[in-house]
């Protein structure tokens, strides 16, 4: 990257195939979606992680996935911001959030880590004054089940919201990197909120059917084909299959 990096977009997760479909890795998935959408070149080993440069609205940004495991994410982030001589305020971290319902997204600046080990490590290395994009994965219901829950793959039922959420966040990230947090959140929320079904005009009551002879059986009515789900479009119904879309399909088949 030539010159000053305006922002570093960090996705949190654990490296390795064992973890790639875990709820805890939704941060990796988010930056993968951004890399896919904006045509980032191949990931390179840098800053104790994988890094890729990307142009968003004619400005250059760094995408970073720490390969230190979640508990040591701050080592990679600290090394990157020291190299580029940027402020912690120029760091945006995408991470899983159990205190938000699945498919919900919130942006927050500063504050504590709420027990998230990745955020805890980053705060230990660069302080608390960085931005977080909280990606809701839901809560298992009991605190003792949290570790197992986040280190488990997304379920098949999650496909209805996961791919659309990642796609919407990637499409709208231009608002986020320019400080328009509310526009970013609203753009994602519009995609995730189902549109109300149009009301059909009132139809006259059907005419009573003519009685059939006892020997005749009524014809079977052909079933109406199901419309493709919203997730299918995000996973591969577009012009081309993204690498993230292919991964999501593989994870859901595996589950």
150-181 pLDDT tens trace:
999 999 889 889 999 999 999 999 999 999 99
The mean pLDDT value of the chain amounts to 82
Percent residues over pLDDT 90 in the chain: 64
195-242 pLDDT tens trace:
555 555 555 566 666 665 555 444 444 444 333 344 444 444 443 345
The residues that are catalytic are: 24
Give the pLDDT confidence score for residue 37 in this predicted structure: 94
Give the pLDDT confidence score for residue 177 in this predicted structure: 94
Cα 82 to Cα 10, 69, 227, 253: the distances in Å are 15, 20, 50, 41
Query: Homologous superfamily of 8-195+228-254 in CATH?
Result: Peptidyl-tRNA hydrolase (3.40.50.1470)
Q: Can you give the pTM of this predicted structure?
A: 0.77
- Strands 91-97 and 8-11 turn out to be parallel
Task: Map out the domains of the chain as residue ranges.
Answer: 8-195+228-254
Most confident of 37-46, 66-75, 189-198: 66-75
């Amino acid at each position: 990257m030539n010159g000053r990096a305006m922002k570093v977009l960090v996705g949190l997760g654990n490296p390795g195939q064992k973890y790639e479909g875990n709820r805890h890795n939704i941060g990796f998935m988010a930056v993968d979606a951004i890399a896919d959408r904006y045509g980032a070149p191949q990931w390179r080993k840098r800053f104790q992680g994988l890094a890729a440069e990307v142009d968003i609205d004619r400005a250059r940004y760094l995408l970073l996935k720490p390969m230190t495991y979640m508990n040591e994410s701050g080592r990679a982030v600290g090394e990157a911001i020291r190299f580029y001589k940027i402020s912690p305020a120029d760091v945006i971290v995408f991470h899983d959030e159990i205190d938000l319902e699945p498919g919900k997204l919130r942006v927050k600046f500063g504050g504590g880590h709420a027990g998230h080990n990745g955020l805890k490590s980053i705060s230990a290395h660069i302080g608390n004054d960085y931005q977080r994009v909280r990606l809701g994965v839901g809560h298992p219901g009991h605190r003792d089940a949290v570790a197992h829950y986040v280190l488990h793959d997304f379920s098949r039922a999650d496909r209805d919201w996961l791919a659309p959420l990642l796609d919407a966040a990637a499409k709208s990230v231009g608002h986020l990197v320019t400080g328009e947090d509310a526009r970013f959140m609203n753009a994602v929320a519009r995609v995730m909120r189902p549109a109300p079904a149009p009301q059909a005009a009132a139809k006259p009551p059907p005419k009573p059917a003519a009685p059939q002879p006892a020997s005749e059986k009524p014809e079977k009515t052909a079933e109406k084909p199901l419309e493709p789900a919203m997730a299918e479009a995000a996973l591969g119904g577009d012009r081309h299959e993204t690498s993230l879309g292919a991964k999501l399909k593989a994870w859901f088949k595996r589950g």
